[in-house]
Amino acid sequence: MAVGKNKCLTKGSQKGAKDKVIGPFSKKDWFDVKAPAMFNIRNIGKTLVTRTQATKIASDNLKGHVFEKDDENQDPEVQTNDLKDVVNKLIPDSTGKDIEKACQSIYRLYVFVRKVKMLKKPKFELGKLMELHGKDSSSGKATGDEMSAKVEQADGYELPV
């Protein structure tokens, strides 16, 4: 070593030069969760979001964010029943009322069925399809009454050739 150099301050590894340990919540901001204007009490609660840095804005994470309650109520009903029974339960909205009762502890809300999605497609059976549509015949052929008939065009209209 040259004269006048300090051995402890070498560039590669410095003793005790570690990053400061900071808590995970020190870089977070609290935001208010607000309901739409149709509700009397709009402030529902608060949520944590990572603070704004460079091009990433904190409020962008919350835009379009939907706060949901898990649908554990409808899973057993859907798995144990046939498709016909499930659709019959969805029409009078009894499933929506069950979910609404489970979510009443959170805040006042409206529950409606927006989309029904089939995750696993069952094996195709023509007999069951005809039964769902109210036809008892198991064959897919139409009878004489159901055959289509030629219809005249109104006002003597003819297709251009």
State CA 114 to chain mean position distance. 10
The better pLDDT of the pair 148, 127 is held by 127
pTM of the predicted model as reported, rounded to 2 decimal places: 0.28
Q: What would the pLDDT profile of 55-72 be if each residue is shown by its tens digit? A: 777 777 666 665 554 445
Q: Give the pLDDT score at 15.
A: 60
- Region 28-40 average pLDDT: 77
List residues bridging with 32 in a β-sheet.
46
Q: Give the pLDDT score at 79.
A: 74
Q: Give the pLDDT score at 35.
A: 73
45: enclosing H helix or E strand:
strand 43-50
Q: Where are the alpha helices (DSSP H) in the chain?
A: 74-80, 83-90, 94-103, 126-132
**At a CB cut-off of 8 Å and minimum separation 6, what does 106 contact?**
44, 69
